[in-house]
């Protein structure tokens, strides 16, 4: 490899590694960064969020996003499989309408409608993130399943595979890289959107940002925003690496 190619490969990796180290250091020992944040706050105001553990809040934020993404993945993939089968093709318009609900309704509106039904806390946030995350996973899965290599599918049919065997052994493995691409988009959307869950008493990084806005503490706002941003970059890149690895294994890259 030429030096230019090596630099283009390793510099981003080093930067991501550095970002991960800094993020972990801040979450494990935020007091170490107090001197950097002190100029952003008024005299005698705390520079580090002091109404809870940043590490605990971050883990709860990630848990909420994870649960919503898993649920969205299961439903979106099953819907895409259904509408790509001969017996389910007529449900494609209905399925598209369903998965578009999350994109047409603002998350705040979903929270407002969910609270009377399920109460305050994590549940309404999960509903909002679930609805918001359906579309990219569904569309990617649909695209992958409807654009499989015809020679491969004909070979699978010719070998005597049943439709279930073709789905499990050929279609889904070949579609997996594109599906992961949809999950990657859904996770990033969820990481940012989950912050509004704190408006209905969910434990997310949004409470750090809201506390900063209420007390005019720019350091709090910056902490919540930067943690969410760092998580989005790291998880997006990690899932991108998984997507590339699956594509290589499937012979698509």
Report the pLDDT value the prediction gives residue 5, as an integer from 0 to 100.
60
CA distance from start to end of the chain: 19
Contact 149, 171 (CB under 8 A): no
Nearest Cα to Cα of residue 135 among 195, 82, 90, 69: 69
For the cut 90, the answer to whether the pLDDT of residue 10 exceeds it is no
Q: What is the pLDDT of residues 101-137, one digit of tens each?
A: 877 888 888 888 888 888 888 899 999 999 999 999 9
Which pTM was predicted? 0.90
For the cut 90, the answer to whether the pLDDT of residue 87 exceeds it is no
Report the pLDDT value the prediction gives residue 247, as an integer from 0 to 100.
87
User: Could you give the domains of the chain?
Assistant: 3-249 (1.10.3720.10)
Report the pLDDT value the prediction gives residue 141, as an integer from 0 to 100.
95
Report the pLDDT value the prediction gives residue 103, as an integer from 0 to 100.
79
Report the pLDDT value the prediction gives residue 104, as an integer from 0 to 100.
82
Report the pLDDT value the prediction gives residue 127, as an integer from 0 to 100.
92
Mean pLDDT, the chain, whole residue set: 89
Report the pLDDT value the prediction gives residue 6, as an integer from 0 to 100.
56
Report the pLDDT value the prediction gives residue 180, as an integer from 0 to 100.
95
Report the pLDDT value the prediction gives residue 142, as an integer from 0 to 100.
94
| CA–CA dist 91, 110 (Å, integer) | 25
SS3 sequence of the chain: CCHHHHHHHHHHHHHHHHHHHHHHHHHHCHHHHHHHHHHHCCCCCCCCCCCCCHHHHHHHHHHHHHHHHHHHHHHHHHHHHHHCCHHHHHHHHHHHHHHCHHHHCCHHHHHHHHHHHHCCCHHHHHHHHHHHHHHHHHHHHHHHHHCCCHHHHHHHHHCCCCHHHHHHHHHHHHHHHHHHHHHHHHHHHHHHHHHHHHHHCCCCCHHHHHHHHHCCCHHHHHHHHHHHHHHHHHHHHHHHHHHHHHHHHCCCC
| CA–CA dist 220, 19 (Å, integer) | 19
Report the pLDDT value the prediction gives residue 65, as an integer from 0 to 100.
96
């Amino acid at each position: 490899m030429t030096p230019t190619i090596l630099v283009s490969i390793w510099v981003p990796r080093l930067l991501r590694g550095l970002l991960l180290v800094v993020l972990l250091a801040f979450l494990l020992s935020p007091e170490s960064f107090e001197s950097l944040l002190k100029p952003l706050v008024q005299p005698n105001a705390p520079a580090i969020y002091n109404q809870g553990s940043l590490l605990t809040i971050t883990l709860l934020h990630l848990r909420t996003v994870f649960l919503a993404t898993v649920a969205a993945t299961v439903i979106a993939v099953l819907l895409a499989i259904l509408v790509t089968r001969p017996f389910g093709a007529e449900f494609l318009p209905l399925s598209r309408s369903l998965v578009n609900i999350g994109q047409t309704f603002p998350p705040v509106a979903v929270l407002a409608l969910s609270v009377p039904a399920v109460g305050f806390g994590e549940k309404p946030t999960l509903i909002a993130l679930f609805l918001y995350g359906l579309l990219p996973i569904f569309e990617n899965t649909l695209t992958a399943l409807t654009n499989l290599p015809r020679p491969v599918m004909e070979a699978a049919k010719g070998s005597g595979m049943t439709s279930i065997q073709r789905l499990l052994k050929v279609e889904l493995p070949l579609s997996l890289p594109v599906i992961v691409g949809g999950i990657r988009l859904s996770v990033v959307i969820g990481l940012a959107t989950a912050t509004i869950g704190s408006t209905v008493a969910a434990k997310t990084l949004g409470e750090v940002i809201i506390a900063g806005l209420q007390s005019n503490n720019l350091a709090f706002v910056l902490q919540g925003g930067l943690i969410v941003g760092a998580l989005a970059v790291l998880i997006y890149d990690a899932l991108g690496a998984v997507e590339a690895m699956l594509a290589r294994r499937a012979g698509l890259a």
